[in-house]
Homo-oligomer: A and B are copies of this chain.
């Protein structure tokens, strides 16, 4: 593969001049520039990004460490991240932590070794020493979706508490009083926050959230199934299960079916995270939709700001309730303003309308 030396030789100039042409330095004669460009063309020369990175100490690469690629929510996030990064001249290396702190550390270490310019993380846990060290060492970092409390890193996330309140109101209106939740790992912010938002919303309606109605899941489908089976075995099973992510909702659906029961007649179901497939399940699932793409893009912008010397603020976007049929038919009149009622086959392939008005707040 041709190097800058070959180009210089072919063009009859020094490597310095070739480099100047390539980097659009003004001090190059038109003649030299033309000869260099001709040589570049002839040799099909492409600068070696590895060498360039060594010299400039910039890789123009972002690392993205997510908790689970197989989760459609994170897939969509990753896609948005890559798009925005590409638009800003960066590439992205994705690390899939599979909800495992050890794998997360593996990827963080690997990415740091590769001298990525910045790191986008959706932490699986409360923060490994490695990651804390990286922050302390000044690695540009931004948390997305989940974060680690007490660490001074901008967070780009969505706030679901209003949507959870809407959800609980919706459920109450349908007459449900025994509401349970399948929580995520307590070590993650999304794991604990969603439970608290749910509890607070229930309290507004004077409904308690007994411990028996809080199931401990791990954001994977199998745990959703296991927890739901536990709920169904209770002397007084809940009427509704709210899963803190889409995969656990899937597991809950499995559990209900495996017992020959029906959603929503025997057990109603709602989920955090909306995904295109929820329109097509039997029944379509009522869910809280995050502005996933916008989160990914905002996270990249914040990270690139940080890399390029500016000081980004945290971003919080609002999530939104999307009512479908998995909690029962809303026989009663209209649903209040913030909700969207949706015909199953109304839109495709991206059936969920995104909230157009988003709320931003610095933290």
- With an 8 A cutoff between CB atoms, is A357 at the interface? no
Pairwise interchain contact B349-A222, C-beta atoms closer than 8 A: yes
Which residues of the partner chain B approach A258 to less than 8 Å between Cβ atoms? 345-346
Out of B49, B96, B346, B348, which one reaches A115, CB within 8 Å?
A: B49
Q: Given A96-B82, A113-B48, A257-B345 in contact, is the A70-B76 Cβ separation under 8 Å?
A: yes
In the complex formed, the residue of B with least CB distance to A281 is B280
Pairwise interchain contact A91-B91, C-beta atoms closer than 8 A: no
Interface size class of A (residues with CB under 8 A): 35 or more
Which residues of the partner chain B approach A96 to less than 8 Å between Cβ atoms? 79, 82
Which residues of the partner chain B approach A82 to less than 8 Å between Cβ atoms? 96
Complex CA distance for A257 and B346, rounded to whole angstroms: 9
Which residues of the partner chain B approach A230 to less than 8 Å between Cβ atoms? none
Q: Which of A47, A48, A225, A247 has the most CB of B within 10 A?
A: A48
Pairwise interchain contact B109-A46, C-beta atoms closer than 8 A: yes
Sampled A-B contacts (11; CB under 8 Å): A47-B113, A50-B53, A69-B79, A247-B349, A253-B345, A254-B280, A254-B345, A255-B345, A280-B281, A281-B281, A282-B282
Which residues of the partner chain B approach A220 to less than 8 Å between Cβ atoms? 349
- With an 8 A cutoff between CB atoms, is A283 at the interface? yes
Distance from A200 Cβ to chain B, minimum over Cβ atoms (Å): 30
